[in-house]
Amino acid sequence: MDYGLNTILIFILGLIVGSFNNVCIYRIPRKESIVYPESHCPQCNARITPVDNIPLLSYFLLKGRCRNCRSKISLQYPIVESLNAIIYLLLYLKYGLSIQTSVYMALSSVLIIIAFIDFREEIIPDGISLPGIIIGFILSFLVNYISVMESVLGILVGGGAILLIALFGSWIFKKEAMGGGDVKLASMIGAFLGWKYILLSLFLGFLGGAIWGIILILSRIKNKEEAVPFGPFIILGSLISIFWGENILNWYLSI
């Protein structure tokens, strides 16, 4: 198949899956079915017709408003769809048409869902991370880019590192420093990426989280006592590891 046609089709696939990601982001925290009922406006409950449900395009055609009640459509919708499509395209450009690309595409979509749920609701649903740990471990028997042992160590090292940090932080600060959801999320990512890349993901996540926390405090958006969801930063670190982890580790070892 033509390379240019592949990129277009993969980008469109990313938009379609990104649209489904938005359904999950909205419904999972509310414990609603992600299948039924069909897409509807959260304000007036009017059914969204297929022509108004075209990923990315419909948002701009409707000028960001519901056709029925004219309420604003959250900017999250085109952002999630575009982000998912761009990540799919970059994965294809890096790994080609391969099983590894397919697995990373599925993982990336799940991570986007978790990141936006945690950012909005400050929860990481066990219904996503726990099955993800099992699926990542099972896949290690079927693929050739990660061994079973690497997956097992990724689960233990990822969850164990966050758990130790959480216990130490709780002891130092006399309050919960890290949620159980972060522990399970790190284990899930470790199941797919292995122990080296989950450690790199956590390091990058802590670095990004610390910088963001300082910015929020200096800008007086948050004070020192307010928690900042850490899940999105673990996820950002894991995406960086997927794309550039090998280069970062080789650079580090070279110095």
Same domain, 137 and 213: yes
pLDDT value of position 170? 66
pLDDT of 39-97, one tens digit each?
A: 888 888 888 888 888 999 999 999 999 888 989 989 999 999 999 999 999 999 999 99
Question: Is residue 167 domain-shared with residue 42, that is, in the same domain?
Answer: no
In a domain, 115, yes or no: no
For residue 42, give both structure tokens: 């959260």
Tell me what the mean pLDDT of segment 208-233 comes to. Answer: 80
Q: Is residue 165 part of a domain?
A: yes
The mean predicted confidence, pLDDT, of the chain is 91
Evaluate whether residue 104 is within a structural domain: no
Q: Are 212 and 180 in contact (CB under 8 A)?
A: no
Task: Find out whether 209 and 168 touch, Cβ atoms under 8 Å.
Answer: no
Do residues 84 and 131 share a domain? no
Give yes or no for a contact between 158 and 166, defined as CB atoms under 8 angstroms apart.
no
Hey, how many other C-beta atoms are within 10 angstroms of the C-beta on 6? 15
DSSP-assigned letter for residue 46: P
Asked whether residue 68 falls in the same domain as residue 15, the answer is yes
Taking residues 23-31, report their average pLDDT.
93
Instruction: Kindly give the residue spans of alpha helices, DSSP state H, lying in the chain.
Output: 3-27, 57-61, 76-95, 99-121, 126-139, 148-173, 180-193, 195-218, 231-254
Residues 145 and 21 in one domain: no
Instruction: At 113, list the tokens.
Output: 């869902």
Whether residue 111 lies inside any domain: the answer is no
Question: pLDDT confidence of 111, banded at 50, 70, 90?
Answer: very high
- Residue of 139, 157, 250, 164 whose CA lies nearest to 195: 157
Euclidean distance between CA atoms 128 and 114, whole angstroms: 8
Cα-based distances in Å from 57 to 22, 63, 88, 109: 15, 10, 18, 20
- Per the structure, the count of domains in the chain is 2
Tell me, yes or no, whether 136 and 79 share the same domain: no
Name the pLDDT band for 245 (thresholds 50, 70, 90): very high
Same-domain pairing of 141 and 44: no
Find, among 148, 140, 83, 135, the residue nearest to 107 by Cα: 135
Structural tokens at position 98? 């391969």
Position 119 in a domain = no
Residue 253 lies in a domain: yes
Q: What is the pTM of this model?
A: 0.92
Residue range of the domain that includes 164: 124-255
In a domain? residue 113: no
* Domain assignment of residue 45, yes or no: yes
Whether 152 and 29 map to the same domain: the answer is no
Q: Are residues 131 and 175 in the same domain?
A: yes
What does the pLDDT look like over 154-191, one tens digit per residue?
999 999 999 998 887 666 666 666 678 999 999 999 99
Same domain, 162 and 252: yes
